[in-house]
Copies of this chain bind each other. A is one copy, B any other.
Amino acid sequence: MTVIAEIFSQGEELVNGQIVDSNAAWISQQLLELGFTVSRHTAVGDDLAALTDLLTEIANRADCCICSGGLGPTSDDLTVAAVSQASSLPLVFDEIALQQIEQFFQRRQRAMPEINRKQAWLPSGAQRIDNSLGTAPGFQLRYLRCHFVFLPGVPAEMQAMFNAQVKPSLQQHFQLNPDQLISIKSIGIGESAIQQRLAELEIPDCVQLGFRAASDEVHTKLRFRADYPEQLKLNLIEQAAGLIGDYVYTISGLNKTDDVDLIGVIDRLMQTQQCSVSLFESFSHGLLASRCWQKNWLKQAAIDGNGLQIADDDAIEPHLSQLAANLRQNQRSDFALIQAYRQIPDSSTQQIQIVLYNSLHTDNCVRYARHTLVGSHIHTLQQQAATLTLDLLRRYLQSTCP
């Protein structure tokens, strides 16, 4: 049975285009994984009449609606008033909500501003959704055909509340048969190249293939119906991952615990192999170090944005080997991971072009990797560089050094 869901986002900054509605995309993904059919996203500004109209529209055509935004303490936060007006439910003061808001400020050693009291008023009969990260409680209620869930617009708060409270509640409330979604996660290969490699794979019509490309990795997505035979599913995933090759760093969706990112994969491998590493970072200028926060296998992280600009390819290998030897000796680390780069001036376009040199040095071997990065946003290129440098370590750990 199809269960129709809609997403409703509130905020002047959304309809005015000051921020992109990433909440709607995140919530859609969660609903899809739970087994809902998402039919529509709508965003409106801070306008009581527009909010009230929209709530009533949705209440007549959807089974479920997740709303975010408009629960703040200020005068332009109108969601609660709109719900009350649309549904004719009076507002009641929730003492427990007030206590939670007061505790939020107490933990930060600040007095609660008087205007935050407003956030403890909820529509009569609504079920409160606690917010341990912020001041705005969420709530859920039924209005006409639709089960409405209201969450704050701050992504971290919204996501934590959705995961801990909304998800189990929706699973209880609706009969859902979610598809099984598998994500083959890869680094260093593009979407079209993956598509070419997968051309020879025979994918049954009932299995959906899709891609999600971020700036530094591509996820190849396979969606199987709930009743798809397990062994056929595993065979197809194995074939697909085999065709993509060693660009694949993990496959997520096979079981509950495997949804890790690149640093998660590296962390497990470093713990298992009981190794330590020292980093020397140049182009990504701190972004690589920031991903290794509180990892006990990190001996040292050094940054020098200018120190490892290399004049040409020939000069680089002896230079990096000497640096690595010093690093490993001084820090007594098993590995040294080094990032060097060369910026290529390009007068014809406005783009930045970087040649990135990564090297990993161990007792037994040295591995080099060279990449060319092109783009117009320096920060995106720096994030890509941090990922590619880390990925050299992942490739070493997942293989055996020759």
Could you tell me which A residues sit within 8 Å of B by CB distance? 7, 12-22, 24-32, 38-47, 50, 54, 72-76, 107-109, 113-116, 132-133, 135, 154, 156, 160, 191-193, 195-196, 209-213, 215, 281, 284-290, 292-294, 298, 301-303, 305, 349-351, 353, 372, 374-380, 382
Contacts and interface: CB of A to CB of B under 8 A. Distances in A.
Interface centre among A18, A20, A26, A382 (most CB of B within 10 A): A18
B212 A13 contact: yes
A211 B375 CA distance: 32
Given A108-B374, A285-B290, A290-B290, A76 B25 contact: no
B376 A76 contact: no
B40 A41 contact: no
B213 A351 contact: no
Contact of A286 (B109, B211, B288): B288
A390 B347 CA distance: 33
Given A12-B210, A20-B20, A116-B192, 9 more contacts: A17-B31, A24-B43, A39-B45, A40-B50, A156-B376, A285-B293, A289-B289, A293-B378, A303-B303
Contacts of A290: 284-287, 290, 379, 382
- The count of identical subunits is 2
A156 B351 CA distance: 12
A115 B281 CA distance: 37
B26 A24 contact: no
Contacts of A18: 25, 29, 210, 212
A28 B13 CA distance: 10
B16 A192 contact: no
B40 A72 contact: no
Given A160-B376, A289-B286, A16 B29 contact: yes
